[in-house]
Amino acid sequence: MTTGTWAAGSIAPDQGFNFSDVCNTITVPAQDLAQGYYSNDVNQDGDAGTSFVNPDTGVITIKYSIDFSSGARTYTNVYTPVVLKKAASYTKYEEVENHPDFIDCDIIK
């Protein structure tokens, strides 16, 4: 999936946009379209709760806007995780909890 409705690679080498996920809340920082290839602003659209991760399914929903000379256009991208086969000894929680950037979302709420 790319930014806006353009096909991948049709307007720039990297048409993605940056976002972060902290405790299932998505933040889209202000940035330029297609990783700065164009000067059009790309911004999170709406309140903080309009972009999020569904904790039960892992589906990420991001609502954002792109500014054009004719006005801003709003888009919604939905990303569905691909489930990979995991090794029997793999414990995701232990790996994440020991990571130096681990944030315990239960403490934040």
Domain boundaries, the chain: 20-81
pLDDT, residue 15, reads: 85
Q: How far apart are CA 40 and CA 2, in angstroms?
A: 15
Question: Residue 83: its pLDDT value, please?
Answer: 67
How many angstroms separate the Cα of 76 from the Cα of each of 52, 71, 91? 11, 17, 32
Six token digits for residue 30: 């202000």
pTM: 0.72
Q: From first to last of the 109 residues of the chain, give the pLDDT tens digit.
A: 678 888 888 998 888 889 888 888 888 899 999 999 999 999 998 776 788 888 888 889 999 999 999 999 999 999 888 766 655 554 454 455 555 555 556 555 4
